[in-house]
Structure 1
Amino acid sequence: MSSSDSMISDSDFFICEAFSQILASPPAELAEKFGSETPLAIANYLQNIPPAEQLDSAAMANYITAFCQKPGNENLNERLGEIYDSLDEDGIDKLVKKTGDPDDIATAISQNPRQRINESRDICQSLQSWANNVRNQTNQRNQNATNSN
């Protein structure tokens, strides 16, 4: 277990999960919402992440937010934030609890750390699998177009 596996932050986990939910949309829907080049741009970006970091949710969360904050990805960044907020419903409760408000009782995370690590790794694997599929489909379409000419 690497040092990054020992503690996975809720924020990193939710960023990866939110991005995974965005990518669960059909490619045509992604292209319509975020631009026709966006699915392939995301796939290329994800596949260019160093292999040692591809299953590390903290690293992936940083890469995801960096990509979404690039000029031209404002709609993607906004959607990531919306999904993140829906996943992290008790985030404010935790913040209030940390600041010492005695009237607030935050809900504990129901998952044990090992379960969170496994789920985080699964999400990161699914992001890489999605990227592979998009690139393979694009390559196949390009090959078919070349063969038909």
Structure 2
Amino acid sequence: MKALIQRVSAASVTVDGQIVGEIEQGILAYIGLGPEDDIETAQKMVDKILTYRIFDNEAGKLDKNVQQVEGGLLLVSQFTLMAKTDKGRRPDFGGAMAPAQASELFEQMVAYAKQQYSKVETGEFGANMLVKADNDGPLNFILEID
């Protein structure tokens, strides 16, 4: 499982002209699921994202997590994170979980995230999403859970 997380001052997901998820300050997390991933992996990733210290403390150092700054968490499914890009000029998506399984696991992941933290929003699995983000920093990190 991979996640690309961005510290944002605001982010939203729009599907068919309707906003389906929106946060102010917080983390926009793109989630890539691989065939070996399961609910345990998903829970570890949520826990890591919620406790990852990418917000400034009073001294200006990255020392606070999204919960400590009472920010939002916007989870967006993103199978392209699992692409193999080391050969050729076209991505190979064979490393991504099959859509039916990924949809179920992503929903379980979102449910777990909402149990752990109250400020969780999401995109729409499998939809053509328009994601807008005001990347704060910019700060972007790739997180991996095996």
TM-score scaled by length of structure 1: 0.32
Greater C-alpha radius of gyration = 1
Relative to its length, the structure with more strand (as a share) is 2
